[in-house]
C-alpha cells in the first residue's frame, strides 16, 4: 500500500512569489492535514480537509490556503512568500476527520524562500 | 508560555536504560495526548496515544497521563541506539472531529552504546 506522497520534495522560491504544494493521501484516506515545521516554532497545525471541505484551521495568516479534490488529494498554497515561510511542510492523511491515532505523515516538502 | 512544553534536551541515556520523556500542557480542556518519534530528516510517526489518566503500555513504551497535574510522559524501557530520535508530544483540544493538535518542540533522545 503506497504511503502519503508529497511533491515536490524541495523547492526554492523568491520572496513575494507564491507556491503550491501537493499531497496524495493513502488510498482510502479521506482526511488530509497540513503542518509547518521550523526549528524555532516546531510543528504547527495549518488546516485539515475532509470531503473537500476545510474542517479545522490553525493560527496562520490568510496567505496560507488549501483545497482538497474529490479524489482526496490536497494542495496547499502560500501567496506573497516571506523569508519566515521557509520550513518543512508536512501533510498527514487519515481515514476520517480528526482520526489522529490513524494518521500517517508524508516525507514533506522543504521550502526555502530567498 | 507555550501551550505544550517539553525539555529540548538532549537526553542522553546508556543502552538498556529507561528513558523518561516529559511533557506539560496548559489547556485543562485537552482530551487526547500523543507521542510521535521523528528521526533526523524524516517525518513524524505516531508511537503512542493516551486518553485517560494512568498508564498505557505498548511493548517497550509506556505512556503516563495525569490530567490533574497536566502532565504526560513517555517511558522507553531497554533503550536501544535505534531509539535515538526527537520525541514530540502532541495534545488535541477538541473531541471527535474537532482536530486542532498542538505540538511541543520535542525532546532529543540519544541512546549511546
Residue with cell 493521501: A25
Nearest Cβ partner for B88 among A33, A43, A103: A43
Over range A72-80, report the average pLDDT: 97
Nearest to A50 by CA among A93, A14, A6: A93
**pLDDT of chain B along its 113 residues, tens only?**
578 999 988 999 999 999 999 999 998 888 899 999 999 999 999 999 999 999 999 999 999 999 999 999 999 999 999 999 999 999 987 655 556 788 999 999 999 99
- Other residues' Cβ atoms within 10 Å of the Cβ of residue B105: 19
Over range A39-63, report the average pLDDT: 92
| Per-residue pLDDT tens over the stretch A21-37 | 999 999 999 999 999 99
Nearest Cβ partner for A48 among B96, B99, B106: B99
| pLDDT at res. A96 | 80
* b/e sequence B59-87, b meaning 16+ C-beta within 10 Å: eebbbbbeeeebebbbbbeebeeebbbbb
Q: Which residues of chain A lie closer than 8 angstroms to B49, CB-CB?
A: 100-101
Q: Is the pLDDT of residue A99 over 80?
A: no
CA atoms within 13 A on the CB side of A35: 25
Q: Which residues of chain B lie closer than 8 angstroms to A93, CB-CB?
A: none
Distance from CA of B96 to the nearest CA of A (A): 7
Band (A64; pLDDT cuts 50, 70, 90)? very high
* Residue A26 DSSP class: P
| pLDDT at res. B94 | 65
Amino acid at each position: 500500500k503506497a504511503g502519503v506522497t508529497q511533491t515536490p520534495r524541495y523547492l526554492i522560491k523568491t520572496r513575494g512569489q507564491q507556491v503550491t504544494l501537493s499531497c496524495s493521501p493513502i488510498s482510502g484516506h479521506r482526511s488530509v492535514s497540513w503542518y509547518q515545521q521550523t526549528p524555532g516554532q516546531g510543528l504547527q497545525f495549518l488546516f485539515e480537509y475532509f470531503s473537500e471541505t476545510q474542517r479545522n484551521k490553525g493560527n496562520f495568516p490568510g496567505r496560507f490556503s488549501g483545497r482538497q479534490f474529490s479524489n482526496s488529494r490536497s494542495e496547499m498554497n502560500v501567496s506573497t512568500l516571506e523569508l519566515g515561510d521557509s520550513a518543512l511542510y508536512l501533510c498527514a492523511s487519515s481515514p476520517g476527520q480528526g482520526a489522529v491515532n490513524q494518521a500517517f505523515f508524508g516525507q514533506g516538502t522543504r521550502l526555502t524562500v530567498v | 508560555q507555550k501551550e505544550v512544553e517539553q525539555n529540548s534536551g538532549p537526553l542522553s541515556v546508556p543502552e538498556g536504560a529507561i528513558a523518561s520523556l516529559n511533557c506539560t500542557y496548559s489547556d485543562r480542556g485537552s482530551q487526547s495526548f500523543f507521542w510521535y518519534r521523528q528521526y533526523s530528516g524524516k517525518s513524524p510517526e505516531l508511537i503512542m496515544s493516551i486518553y485517560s489518566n494512568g498508564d498505557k503500555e505498548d511493548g517497550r513504551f509506556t505512556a503516563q497521563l495525569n490530567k490533574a497535574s497536566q502532565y504526560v510522559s513517555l517511558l522507553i524501557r531497554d533503550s536501544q541506539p535505534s531509539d535515538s530520535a526527537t520525541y514530540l508530544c502532541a495534545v488535541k483540544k477538541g473531541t471527535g472531529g474537532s482536530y486542532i493538535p498542538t505540538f511541543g518542540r520535542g525532546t532529543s533522545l540519544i541512546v549511546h552504546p
